[in-house]
Amino acid sequence: MTTSTLLLSRRDLEFQLYDWLDAASFTDRERFSAHSRETFDAVLDLCAQLAAERFAPHNKLNDTHEPQLVDGRVRMIPEVKAALDAVAAAGVLGGAMDERAGGLQLPHLVQTAASAWFQAANIGSWAYAFLTVANANLLLAHGSPDQVERFVRPMLQGRFHGTMCLSEPQAGSSLADISTRAEPRADGTYRLTGSKMWISAGEHELGENIVHLVLARIAGAPAGVRGLSLFVVPRSLVDDRGVVGERNDVALVGLNHKMGFRGTTNALLNFGEGVFTPGGEPGAVGHLVGEPHQGLAAMFHMMNEARIGVGAGAAALGYTGYLKSLDYARTRTQGRLPGAKDPATPQARLVDHADVRRMLLAQKSYVEGALGLVLYCGRLLDEQRTAPAAADRAQATSLLEILTPIAKSWPSQWCLAANDLAIQVHGGYGYTREYDVEQHYRDNRLNPIHEGTHGIQGLDLLGRKVVMDDGAALAELGRTIRATIARATDGEAAELAARLDESLTRLLAVTRTIHAADTDAATRFANSSLYLDAAGHVVLAWIWLEQFLATGGAEDPFRRGKRLAARYFFRYELPRTGPWFDLLARLDRTTVDADPACL
């Protein structure tokens, strides 16, 4: 069995939550007043145990025996439902939700850490819970009391599961081109018609019902994203008493087969094709969520949460790969150190080779840094909601806006790189399916694409987030980073801070250059992905300086390791930004000018 010590480091979670992000201080706030560090720890322990005992054991099986479409129904190994039911029964599904809705009213910070155990153990099975929670959160924020009663409660009980249905065959990244239609009916419901693609958890037999949240266009709505409305479309209709009844007109067309996340069904669904005729009529019955044509804003509530969740999942996959390759490197012996080549001497441990330590340090800096970033975002969600001062709430909102594309993309890219290094540390064993790390690598490869590709995140950061409110969010980020720099007054911390300061200054300068009034649109966005890469590395350097400072100079191996990883990041990683900034600063047009006929 995979013990929890190979999933995440409990020691590091404690450091990040308490020593650095001061989670315990939240218990002074009214929303969290029922909690204490003890209840936080109890939830972490419970999740670690459930993850190790219920999720990790079938991670490989759910990959090799992925869900199958048999006679129009999805068959999957029974361990998935057993694991999800155990989570629901333990009451931790709605950890951060209101108590009145059936949640534990935990800080998002703690809930993000708790969920990471499941993501590290078995991201394919956990995805069902992840989508259900995100769906429930959206309905709690934007749904009617009746919708909450009818759909959210059963989801938190583990009886229903949720999805988000945005993409269509012709509209993946381009939400403006969504064409699913919604026709109003006299009873206040709508009838939907259209096809939805890439729907994770779109079909299965894990519960009594599936609650689809669907973006569609009400007849007569404007073109583009301003004409999108959001609907609850349950797979089966639910009456006023909450009883699941007649089948709605939502039909499974087929499943996609993926290189990773194989345990998570990914479906093409047809809405309103007449396969079922609820109430004797064609069309999928949908309930409008919020106001007409305001669907995208509501869906972004779910999508922003999902994006940070994708980053958290990527970090968790990277983390478990790191721990497994570290464990392997500590026990496997191979070769001898430079200058000690006598074949009569015993072989050295892998971890004794500097190049292996380089691969381990790189992983450590990626995964502990990425986890730090997503936990920091979790804390911002709490600040946004519960900070006593309005200015602090506004600051948190601003930072969340600008950090979300980075929290989605950076872990997806660099914790995939971590998994690549985890394979490399294992040598030939690393690419065999008898070991775990090749699956983590395949699972993690989905993260830079789903919930908005790397390219989309780059456009979001450069085209929206750094310019919104006259650049207020970027300015806020700059002030926040400079506040950290100001605290790093001594010794090595001061050296790192000086380098971070230089990098931040460059980031702000290239942003001004790119958004100068005389830059044309094509040039401006020519290197938006590199801008995202560069901003990501600057943010992570800041996260590492924060963690460096949080060690307080103590000399135990754990804290020395934190400073070592920070040092590695500043020496080996942050300098990568130099060439990226050079390209951005000169408004390089190589890709803009490239004639497609020459490719």
Which amino acids are annotated catalytic?
451
Q: Which of 428, 483, 491, 552 binds a second copy (CB under 8 A)?
A: 428
Does residue 236 interact with a second copy by CB under 8 A? no
Q: Long-range pairs for 256-260 at CB < 8 Å and ≥24 separation?
A: 256/198, 257/66, 258/446, 259/442, 259/445, 259/446, 260/124, 260/439, 260/441, 260/442, 260/443, 260/444, 260/445, 260/446
Footprint on residues 530-559 left by a second copy (CB under 8 A): 557-558
Q: Which of 86, 237, 564, 587 binds a second copy (CB under 8 A)?
A: 564
User: How many CB atoms within 10 Å of residue 72?
Assistant: 9
Closest approach of Cβ 79 to a second copy, in Å? 21
Closest approach of Cβ 168 to a second copy, in Å? 11
Does residue 422 interact with a second copy by CB under 8 A? no
Footprint on residues 157-186 left by a second copy (CB under 8 A): 167, 170-174, 176-177
Q: Which of 19, 352, 492, 501 binds a second copy (CB under 8 A)?
A: 352
Residue 134 φ then ψ, to 5°: -65, -40
Q: Which of 124, 162, 234, 260 binds a second copy (CB under 8 A)?
A: 260
Q: Which has the closest alpha carbon to 377: 358, 397, 354?
A: 397
Separation CA 350–CA 372 (nearest Å): 28
- With CB under 8 A as the contact rule, which of the stretches 117-125, 188-196, 492-500, 519-527 interacts with a second copy? 519-527
Does residue 70 interact with a second copy by CB under 8 A? no
Taking the mean position of all CA atoms in its chain, how far away is CA 561? 26
What string marks each residue from 362 to 401 as x (binds a second copy by CB under 8 A) or -?
--x-------------------------------------
Q: Which of 57, 91, 184, 224 binds a second copy (CB under 8 A)?
A: 224
Closest approach of Cβ 403 to a second copy, in Å? 21
Does residue 338 interact with a second copy by CB under 8 A? yes
Q: Which of 336, 385, 482, 515 binds a second copy (CB under 8 A)?
A: 336
Q: Which of 133, 316, 367, 526 binds a second copy (CB under 8 A)?
A: 526
Q: Which of 72, 339, 491, 552 binds a second copy (CB under 8 A)?
A: 339
State the sign of the Cα–Cα–Cα–Cα dihedral 426, 428, 433, 434: negative
- With CB under 8 A as the contact rule, which of the stretches 115-123, 313-321, 395-403, 438-446 interacts with a second copy? 438-446
Closest approach of Cβ 178 to a second copy, in Å? 10
Instruction: Kindly tell me which of 378 and 405 has the beta carbon lying closer to a second copy.
Output: 405
Q: Is 81 helix (H, G, I), strand (E, B) or coil?
A: helix
Separation CA 524–CA 200 (nearest Å): 34
User: How many CB atoms within 10 Å of residue 236?
Assistant: 17
Q: Is 209 helix (H, G, I), strand (E, B) or coil?
A: strand
Tokens 């010794």 correspond to 491
Q: Tokens representing 441?
A: 């690598």
Separation CA 260–CA 438 (nearest Å): 10
Separation CA 405–CA 459 (nearest Å): 9
Q: Which of 87, 123, 361, 549 binds a second copy (CB under 8 A)?
A: 361
The DSSP H or E segment spanning 161 is strand 160-165
Q: Which of 205, 274, 575, 585 binds a second copy (CB under 8 A)?
A: 575
Residue 294: HSE in the Cβ half-sphere, 13 Å Cα cutoff: 9
Tokens 């929670």 correspond to 133
Closest approach of Cβ 541 to a second copy, in Å? 14
Separation CA 253–CA 267 (nearest Å): 7
Does residue 320 interact with a second copy by CB under 8 A? no
Instruction: Kindly tell me which of 91 and 455 has the beta carbon lying closer to a second copy.
Output: 455
Q: Tokens representing 554?
A: 């103590």
Residues in binding contact with a second copy, number by CB under 8 A: 102
Separation CA 448–CA 457 (nearest Å): 10
State the sign of the Cα–Cα–Cα–Cα dihedral 406, 407, 412, 418: positive
Separation CA 208–CA 195 (nearest Å): 23
Does residue 257 interact with a second copy by CB under 8 A? yes
Q: Which of 23, 52, 326, 500 binds a second copy (CB under 8 A)?
A: 326
Separation CA 393–CA 401 (nearest Å): 12
Does residue 219 interact with a second copy by CB under 8 A? no
Does residue 582 interact with a second copy by CB under 8 A? yes
Residue 215 φ then ψ, to 5°: -85, 130
Instruction: Kindly tell me which of 280 and 596 has the beta carbon lying closer to a second copy.
Output: 596
Does residue 449 interact with a second copy by CB under 8 A? yes
Does residue 431 interact with a second copy by CB under 8 A? yes
Does residue 579 interact with a second copy by CB under 8 A? yes
